[in-house]
Every structure is written in C-alpha cells, then in structure tokens.
C-alpha cells in the first residue's frame, strides 16, 4: 500500500519537477511554524494543486482515484465504522461497505502504512483505500456524516473546553 521506498511527498514532487529545494525549505518552515506534516504543508500553502498531488499519490501508491467524493450516494451504515472525529483527524471518508465486509475509504494521504493499518484496526474490518482530494473529503465529511455521529465529538470538545460558547 505505501510506496516501496516509502518516499516522502517532497521526493515525489521533486522527481516530477514540481518542487525545488527552496520550495521545500519554505514548506518545511510552514510545517515547523504550524505543526503540520509535509502533506498538509504542501496542500495548505497551495504550492502544488490538490489534484496534481492526488494524481501523483495514485501513481506512486498504485491506488485508485476517487473524484467528486462529496456528491457520492453513501449509505449511513458506513459511518458506524469510522468515527466523525477520526475521519476529520485523518482526512478520510468511508463511502461503501462491500458485501464481503470490506470498507471502501477515501484518503487524502494514504502514503503511511501505519495510518492505513490504524484505520483498518479502528474500523475492525479490511479497508480498500482510494485517493481523493483533501478538500473533497472534508466537504464530504461535513455533508454526509449524520449529526448523531458528530455530536459525541462536539460534546467531548465542550467538556475539554475546546469549543467557545
């Protein structure tokens, strides 16, 4: 699932001529300042278009691409396997439960084998990863997750003092 050499997003982008050393330094500075990983630094600084990053990840990881995630017809039972806060934290979106029990999940960045294994463990079933643009996944989470699945996360944040009233 992850790349054989476990390339970083920076290496993938440099190999395709989309990133220079100076661009990487700027992204690393963003990472350090905001405490985000390399993937989010590239996405949030708009150094490379999301669609190009998704295409590169599909090519490198040999995973299928999923377009228009937010407009998918999704059965509500898929949300039983991935909690709302987990979906947001990892930028993933469950969208189909196959008849064999495998859960199809869209990932913004599935390049970490540990992340894939963690999601499979949390879902308590095999997963079939797809790659989609981060903004599409976030939009799908906000549009499709039932309020009943969002409330436990909101209540937890309120109890920890993480949401202003």
Q: Is 38 a domain residue?
A: yes
Q: 117 and 134 share a domain? A: yes
Structure-derived torsion over alpha carbons of residues 32, 88, 71, 77, reported in degrees to the nearest 10: 160
What range does the domain containing 104 cover? 69-160
3: confidence class by pLDDT, cuts 50, 70, 90 = very low
DSSP annotation of 79 reads: G
Q: Which residue has the higher pLDDT, 69 or 163?
A: 69
Q: What is the pLDDT of residue 117?
A: 94
Q: 75 and 141 share a domain? A: yes
Q: Which of 94, 103, 99, 77 is nearest to 132 (CA)?
A: 94
Q: What is the pLDDT of residue 150?
A: 76
3-class secondary structure, 130: strand
1: confidence class by pLDDT, cuts 50, 70, 90 = very low
Q: What is the pLDDT of residue 5?
A: 44
Q: Is 4 a domain residue?
A: no
162: confidence class by pLDDT, cuts 50, 70, 90 = low
When computed from its CA atoms, the radius of gyration of the chain, rounded to whole angstroms, is 17
Whole-angstrom CA distances from 26 to 8, 22, 51, 154 are 16, 6, 21, 34
Q: What is the pLDDT of residue 151?
A: 76
Whole-angstrom CA distances from 12 to 15, 59, 94 are 5, 10, 26
Q: Which of 147, 2, 149, 130 is nearest to 68 (CA)?
A: 130
Query: Stretch 116-134: mean pLDDT, rounded?
Result: 96
The pLDDT tens digits for 53-70 are: 999 999 999 999 999 998
Q: What is the CATH number of the domain that holds 125?
A: 3.30.300.160
Number of domains in the chain: 2
CB atoms within 10 A of CB 93: 31
């Amino acid at each position: 699932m992850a790349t054989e050499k476990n390339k970083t997003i920076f290496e993938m982008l440099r190999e395709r001529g989309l990133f220079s050393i100076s661009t990487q330094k700027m992204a690393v500075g963003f990472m350090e300042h905001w405490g985000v990983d390399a993937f989010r630094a590239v996405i949030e600084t708009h150094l490379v278009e999301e669609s190009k990053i998704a295409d590169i990840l599909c090519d490198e990881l040999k995973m299928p691409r999923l377009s228009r995630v937010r407009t998918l017809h999704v059965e509500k039972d898929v949300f039983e396997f991935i909690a709302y806060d987990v979906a947001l934290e990892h930028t993933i979106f469950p969208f189909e439960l196959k008849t064999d029990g495998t859960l199809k999940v869209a990932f913004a960045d599935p390049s970490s084998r540990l992340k894939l294994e963690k999601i499979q463990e949390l879902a308590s079933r095999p997963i079939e990863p797809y790659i989609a643009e981060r903004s599409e996944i976030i939009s799908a989470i906000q549009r499709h997750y039932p309020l009943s699945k969002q409330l436990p996360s909101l209540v937890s944040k309120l109890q920890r003092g993480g949401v202003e009233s």
